[in-house]
Structure 1
Amino acid sequence: MAFTLPDLPYPANALEPHMSANTLGFHHGKHHAAYVTNLNNLIKGTDLENKSLEEIILAVAGDASKAGIFNNAAQVWNHTFFWNGMKPNGGGKPTGAIAEKIDADLGGYDKFVEQFKAAATTQFGSGWAWLVLDNGKLAITKTGNADLPLAHGQKALLTCDVWEHAYYLDYQNRRPDFVQAFLDHLVNWDFVNQNLASA
């Protein structure tokens, strides 16, 4: 079974003005699509061909000879997760179990925002900022390029893509403004609560 590009969970213009249809068109329709195509080509005819995305990632993580497979598989996973972590009229303070967990583990929403923004803005070059569950406790992490919490035994709850193609058409070099808009207007806390509940 070849992998296919998943549809966006909302229309391409649904996140405007914080993320433009133009950005989503390129990001989902070109970048994400290319990772899917590359992955299918790389695993064709191999023992990975019929494995799930997660199984492929775990099978090749840390194997330098399989870096191409890891990078493309992880980027397919990361992007699908990123789209689902956003929604129109999202962002702001969470409610439910994640709100209580943020208070208990991170010292409250304001501390979470501070730490998440720091992770996202200080990731040098391309990568991702994450809210993860690590041994039952919330933590903020960042990863370079395609790397992801799954490869480090952590459960991803939320991510922000800080590759330049995620924000450059809308924000140019103002990554901090993009991260602020993500937190204030885009985060889908329902999705985060679902991930926490399934952990």
Structure 2
Amino acid sequence: MLSATFGAVARATRLVAVTSSLRMKHTLPDLPYDYSALEPYISAEIMKLHHQKHHNTYVTNLNIAEEKLAEAIAKKNLNQIITLQPALNFNGGGHINHSLFWEVLSPNGGGEPKGDLMDIIRRDFGSFENFKNEIINKTVAIQGSGWGWLGYNPTTGRLRINTTANQDPLAPTTGLIPLFGIDVWEHAYYLQYKNVRPDYVKAIFNVANWENVTKRLHAAKMAN
């Protein structure tokens, strides 16, 4: 219990060191396309609600939580530091995940990836179709809310498919660098697809931005 407490303090201290009083607050990123650009696969109504309401709420609450954390550390209020961890994790994860999500979708997306990305997908999954079926099946099977991911393992240099619950980001829980993510919170699809999650997950591949995913793969390799 004591070690866990010290760990929480250490994590909070590191966070405040990064997000000091001189930091700029987190802001909602602009979408790289219009709200209607992904239709008919994702409706403008969903995109507007998802971006302006849900993602914006994560950003707002993250800023509030970080301000409270800075105050708690200044006052050496250990109980408040520990109490704030869930809000920091949830809203920070929501901001990180959605910031990636918007970029790995494109009105000019879809089809199959090319070049290095296709080569490594074929190496690690046998074929693009195998990869697609695996990530669809694992993402659809998530219990409750969460994310399906294609990640890069910097230790092995291989791709892996994984899932995370709620707004947990991929890297801290698995060590994988996220390349492509599918949001399966109901706010991402329910207005259009109702309870038929598989149809939504399959539709995502019609707007998948493989060029962006390829850039993320190259960056992950360079950082290794």
Q: Could you tell me which of 119, 122, 127 is aligned with 2:138?
A: 119
2:159 is aligned, of 138, 141, 158, to 138
Cα RMSD after superposing both structures: 1.4
Structure showing greater radius of gyration is 2
**Any idea what SS the aligned residue of 1:128 has?**
strand
Q: TM-score, normalised by structure 1?
A: 0.89
The alpha-carbon deviation at position 65 of structure 1 amounts to 5.5
1:1-199 to structure 2, matched below 5 A, reads: 1-44=24-67, 46-47=69-70, 66-134=85-153, 135=155, 136-151=157-172, 152-183=174-205, 185-199=206-220
- Distance in 2 (CA, whole Å) between partners of 1:91 and 1:164 is 22
> SS of 1:173's equivalent?
coil
2: CA distance between counterparts of 1:64 and 1:2?
21
Q: Deviation at 1:90? A: 1.2
Distance in 1 separating the partners of 2:83 and 2:208:
34
Give the match's secondary structure for 1:4: coil
SS in 1 for 2:213: helix
**Seq. identity, %:** 41
What is the CA-CA distance between 1:93 and the residue it aligns to?
1.1
- The separation in 2 between residues aligned to 1:47 and 1:150, in whole angstroms, is 25
Structure 1 counterpart of 2:17: none
Structure 2 unmatched runs, 5+:
1-23, 72-81
Aligned length, in residue pairs: 184
Greater length-normalized contact order (CA 8 Å, ≥ 6 residues apart): 1
Name whichever structure is richer in helix by fraction. Answer: 2
Q: Distance in 2 between matches of 1:7 and 1:65?
A: 28
Point out where structure 1 has 5 or more consecutive residues left out of the alignment: 49-62
Give SS of 1:67's match.
helix
How far has the Cα of 1:45 moved from its partner? 5.2
